Amino acid sequence: MGPVLLALVVLLAAARVGGSAAERFRQPAVLGELAAGILLGALPLAGLHGLEYAARDEVVGAIAELGVIFLLFEVGLSTRLADLLKVGPSALLVAVVGMAVPMALGYGAGQLLLPGRHPFVSLFLGATLCATSVGITARVLKDMGRVGSVEGQIILGAAVIDDVLGLLVLAVMVGLVEGQGAPLPTLGLVGGKAVAFLALALVVGRWAAPRLFRGASRMHGKGVLFTAALVACLGLSWLAEVAGLAPIVGAFAAGLVLEGVPWDELLPEGDRIEDLFLPLSTATVPLFFVRMGLQVDLRALAGGPVLLALALILAAFLGKQACGLAVLQRGVDRLAVGIGMVPRGEVGLIFAGIGMSLKLGGAPLLGPGELAAVVAMVLVTTMVTPPLLRWRLARPG
Amino acid sequence: MGPVLLALVVLLAAARVGGSAAERFRQPAVLGELAAGILLGALPLAGLHGLEYAARDEVVGAIAELGVIFLLFEVGLSTRLADLLKVGPSALLVAVVGMAVPMALGYGAGQLLLPGRHPFVSLFLGATLCATSVGITARVLKDMGRVGSVEGQIILGAAVIDDVLGLLVLAVMVGLVEGQGAPLPTLGLVGGKAVAFLALALVVGRWAAPRLFRGASRMHGKGVLFTAALVACLGLSWLAEVAGLAPIVGAFAAGLVLEGVPWDELLPEGDRIEDLFLPLSTATVPLFFVRMGLQVDLRALAGGPVLLALALILAAFLGKQACGLAVLQRGVDRLAVGIGMVPRGEVGLIFAGIGMSLKLGGAPLLGPGELAAVVAMVLVTTMVTPPLLRWRLARPG
């Protein structure tokens, strides 16, 4: 137990110091957590027992995985399914364009700069560019009090659809790589499984959850509803994995399902289910990102990957500017929408992490060089967005 | 990740159902959690993948361990160091008698009923009888609104001292068993290390913590103080292990240290540090107890261990009745004090769990039979106390 405790202490402390430093300069905490991880990894501490554990131990890795699961669960909880269904043609078009164009550009960049590699590598790199980070976007909009603006609503609506489409893309990718081929039936099966799981989980879940949680609220003891929500989150994550999807897809679905539970009636006055999960995610989410940073090999950035990183950054930025052109309404600040879609946070990193864990011909699909390029892209898009969006939205008129 | 998720779902759901069922019959939730675990273990589900994982997997075990660490941290947080120092001769005497007599009786029972075994086995069995479960006692007193009564104050004060003495006894035991001998210098070293760690952690910690946390409160970002408290809890748990003690000793010390931080000034109005940790412990503490129940082999109760279990139950009950005689004040209900000291909850089980993990001559110090006897003792003392104490305290006059 000792090394696990030390690893948790080192990672939590580094994440918090990095996160606070980033927030001091008005940057998202996730940026500082990644940077702290990269810094820790670059220090000559390879022999330190706790650090080795932090980067490689199964227990620490599983707790970090639970962090991502809680994060996607919370994103689902704060996403109104009604918004997903009611979003107009604009948000849908923005989402589709904002996913297709960066993905095509990323695929092109990969094919151009990684000539000897399997096309799946380029496809996966493209996929890391497709999903906007709802968390970062929402955070900036909220801090500026612009969630309710037309631009804000389009960005949030599109980002939510983007996230779902991104999860489907991920499911398709993983299925493709693990199936070692891309025949249409396979693609249809993987995509169909993803849609069927989500549709079943959402339709059955949204119907059953209010009834189940009403029943649970009649059980004796403290924390019954919290535990039931936790069981739902972990249970749907498990079911998603059984269905061949990533656990985070299930966690997101669990969040969407539980968003439909009438918590106002079930919880004591003033309690919010999101707030009850806050300590769990505060304790585990940073572990995922600092550990991701710790696994970045800065030396791998030298040589080829710098070009790849620049190409990905360009593809990420230009690809999302196409979104602005897809807005149907008049009088909307198209540039603001484009900027708002730029940040690639946790989802891009999660994709990269999964790409590293997939095997293609015995070797990992994404190597440390590709990961470093994606991390550079995430770092730049995440860092550049808050000041740019603030500048654009703060303009008079 | 799949099997880990399934194991967590099964254990959390079983613990909650068991806990709620117990609370429905006005019993402590821990009783139902243990029972649910025993029931799960007795079901013919040995081949089920998730259950095998639940009982044996390293990741699930580590998360359950973190649960115990959070529990002892919370017990420390809700223990005022001032109370530990200000308790009068009564509480101290009650604690010492309430530890020495059950321990002697438990040792005697072991020597009588386990003739072929090493005396350390009897010593460890005696140790499982010594510590009163603060949680269970405090819960009953609180539910009856009698925390402030003389009996309540003596019981709580003695239980707190009992807990600290119990932790020292545990440290001494583990040192003895791992050192394979009991020369006085070893005992002095182990005991001295325990006292020195606690004294240093408390003196330096109580001096430094308010300053450190005031500094941390100036850091940017949300959840800084929560993360700092978590780092302190895990960090002192790690340091305790480095010093040769059990991690829970460090977690308890961390709680005592953090109890001295002026949270009122640092946290937003109405927030309490205990409440912030509640979701973490709600999510992990039941895992420890249900998993402990899952590891009980009911078949091992047949034959010899039934006698041992009865002897331990008798020793546990009679040993704590001696406490009542140690009360110095007049006008105190000595029987109520004796009953209030009876429940052996988490600490007895933690001792038993540690006894099972210790090796003596290649074999575990405590076998499944001894564990079952201790669990039976915990089940009976925990179950019998609430109604008995309610009966005694509810008497008029």
- What are A62-91's pLDDT values in tens digits? 999 898 888 878 877 877 777 656 655 888
**One-letter amino acid of B62:** A
Q: What is the gyration radius of the CA atoms in chain A, in angstroms?
A: 21
Q: In angstroms, rounded to a whole number, what is the distance separating the alpha carbons of residues B358 and A282?
A: 34
Q: Does A28 score more than 80 pLDDT?
A: no
> Between chains, do B282 and A226 touch, taking CB under 8 Å as contact?
yes
Residue B1: which of A1, A5, A247 has the nearest Cβ?
A: A247
Q: In angstroms, rounded to a whole number, what is the distance separating the alpha carbons of residues A139 and A20?
A: 15
**One-letter amino acid of B156:** L
Average confidence (pLDDT) over A315-333 = 86
Beta bridge partners of B360: B363
Domain B71-283+299-393 has CATH 1.20.1530.20: yes
Three-state DSSP at A360 gives strand
Q: State pLDDT tens for residues A362-373.
A: 788 888 888 888
Residue B58: which of A17, A58, A235 has the nearest Cβ?
A: A58
| Phi, psi angles (nearest 5°) of residue A359 | -105, 140
Q: In angstroms, rounded to a whole number, what is the distance separating the alpha carbons of residues B232 and A347?
A: 31
For residue B276, list chain A residues with Cβ-Cβ distance below 8 A.
279
Q: What does the pLDDT read at residue B364? A: 84
- Torsion (CA) A136, A142, A144, A147 in degrees, nearest 10: 110
Is the Cβ–Cβ distance between B66 and B284 less than 8 Å? yes
> Which residue in A27, A227, A273 has the most chain B C-beta atoms within 10 A of its own C-beta, making it the best mutation to test that interface?
A227
> Between chains, do B63 and A58 touch, taking CB under 8 Å as contact?
no
| Minimal C-alpha gap between A58 and chain B (Å) | 7
Average confidence (pLDDT) over A137-161 = 66
Q: Does A177 score more than 90 pLDDT?
A: no
For residue A13, list chain B residues with Cβ-Cβ distance below 8 A.
231
For residue B13, list chain A residues with Cβ-Cβ distance below 8 A.
231
* pLDDT tens over chain B, length 397 residues: 888 999 999 999 999 999 899 888 877 677 788 789 888 887 766 566 556 667 678 899 899 989 888 887 887 787 777 765 665 588 889 988 998 999 999 999 999 988 888 888 898 899 889 877 755 665 566 556 665 577 877 776 676 567 667 766 776 777 777 765 555 565 566 667 767 887 888 899 999 999 999 998 888 877 899 999 999 999 999 988 887 677 877 887 898 899 889 988 888 877 888 888 989 989 998 898 888 778 766 665 665 578 899 999 999 999 999 988 888 777 788 898 899 888 886 667 778 888 888 877 778 888 888 888 888 888 788 767 777 887 787 776 5
Three-state SS for chain B is CHHHHHHHHHHHHHHHHHHHHHHHCCCCHHHHHHHHHHHHHHCCCCCCHHHHHHHHCHHHHHHHHHHHHHHHHHHHHCCCHHHHHHCCHHHHHHHHHHHHHHHHHHHHHHHHHCCCCCHHHHHHHHHHCCCCCHHHHHHHHHHCCCCCCHHHHHHHHHHHHHHHHHHHHHHHHHHHHHHCCCCHHHHHHHHHHHHHHHHHHHHHHHHHHHHHHHHHCCCCCCCHHHHHHHHHHHHHHHHHHHCCCCHHHHHHHHHHHHHCCCHHHHCCCCCCHHHHHHHHHHHHHHHHHHHHHHCCCHHHHCCHHHHHHHHHHHHHHHHHHHHHHHCCCCCCCHHHHHHHCCCCCHHHHHHHHHHHHCEECCEECCCHHHHHHHHHHHHHHHHHHHHHHHHHHCCCC
Residue B9: which of A16, A23, A231 has the nearest Cβ?
A: A231
For residue B220, list chain A residues with Cβ-Cβ distance below 8 A.
20-21, 23-24
Q: What does the pLDDT read at residue A231? A: 96
How many CB pairs below 8 A link A and B? 129
The proportion of chain B whose per-residue pLDDT surpasses 90, expressed as a percent, equals 21
| Minimal C-alpha gap between A246 and chain B (Å) | 10
Residue A23: which of B4, B220, B279 has the nearest Cβ?
A: B220
Question: Residue B229: which of A31, A272, A282, A40 has the closest Cα?
Answer: A282
Residue B12: which of A221, A227, A241 has the nearest Cβ?
A: A227
For residue B21, list chain A residues with Cβ-Cβ distance below 8 A.
220
Average confidence (pLDDT) over A125-143 = 71
Q: What does the pLDDT read at residue A24? A: 86
Question: Residue A30: which of A285, A276, A274, A275 has the closest Cα?
Answer: A285
For residue B9, list chain A residues with Cβ-Cβ distance below 8 A.
231, 234-235, 238
* Cα-to-chain-centroid distance, residue B339: 18
> Between chains, do B20 and A221 touch, taking CB under 8 Å as contact?
yes
> Which residue in B5, B72, B237 has the most chain A C-beta atoms within 10 A of its own C-beta, making it the best mutation to test that interface?
B5
Q: State pLDDT tens for residues A178-234.
A: 765 555 565 566 667 767 887 888 899 999 999 999 999 888 877 899 999 999 999
Q: Chain A: residue nearest B60 by CA? A: A59
Q: Chain A: residue nearest B274 by CA? A: A279
Q: What does the pLDDT read at residue A9? A: 94
Q: State pLDDT tens for residues B185-200.
A: 655 666 677 678 878 8
Is the Cβ–Cβ distance between B125 and B374 less than 8 Å? yes
Residue A62: which of B1, B221, B280 has the nearest Cβ?
A: B1
| Minimal C-alpha gap between A112 and chain B (Å) | 35
CATH topology of domain A72-284+302-394: Na+/H+ antiporter like fold (1.20.1530)
Q: State pLDDT tens for residues B338-395.
A: 998 888 866 677 788 888 888 777 788 888 888 888 888 887 887 677 778 877 877 7
> Between chains, do A16 and B224 touch, taking CB under 8 Å as contact?
yes
> Between chains, do A29 and B221 touch, taking CB under 8 Å as contact?
yes
Where are chain B's structural domains? 71-283+299-393
Residue B234: which of A5, A223, A226 has the nearest Cβ?
A: A5
Structure tokens at A331: 């009088």
Q: In terms of DSSP bridges, do strands B359-360 and A359-360 run parallel, antiparallel, or are they unpaired?
A: unpaired
For residue A223, list chain B residues with Cβ-Cβ distance below 8 A.
278-279, 282
Structure tokens at B12: 């959390």
Q: Chain A: residue nearest B1 by CA? A: A62
> Between chains, do B231 and A9 touch, taking CB under 8 Å as contact?
yes
Three-state DSSP at A359 gives strand
> Between chains, do A1 and B227 touch, taking CB under 8 Å as contact?
no
Residue B20: which of A19, A224, A277 has the nearest Cβ?
A: A224
Q: State pLDDT tens for residues A337-363.
A: 899 888 886 667 778 888 888 877 778
The proportion of chain A whose per-residue pLDDT surpasses 90, expressed as a percent, equals 21
Structure tokens at A304: 């080829």
User: In sequence order, what are the residues at sequence separation of 6 or more whose Cβ sits closer than 8 angstroms to the Cβ of residue B264?
Assistant: none
Residue A279: which of B6, B20, B280 has the nearest Cβ?
A: B280
Is the Cβ–Cβ distance between B9 and A237 less than 8 Å? no
> Which residue in B31, B233, B238 has the most chain A C-beta atoms within 10 A of its own C-beta, making it the best mutation to test that interface?
B238
> Between chains, do B12 and A237 touch, taking CB under 8 Å as contact?
no
Torsional class of B303: left (φ above 0), alpha (ψ -120 to 50), beta (otherwise):
left
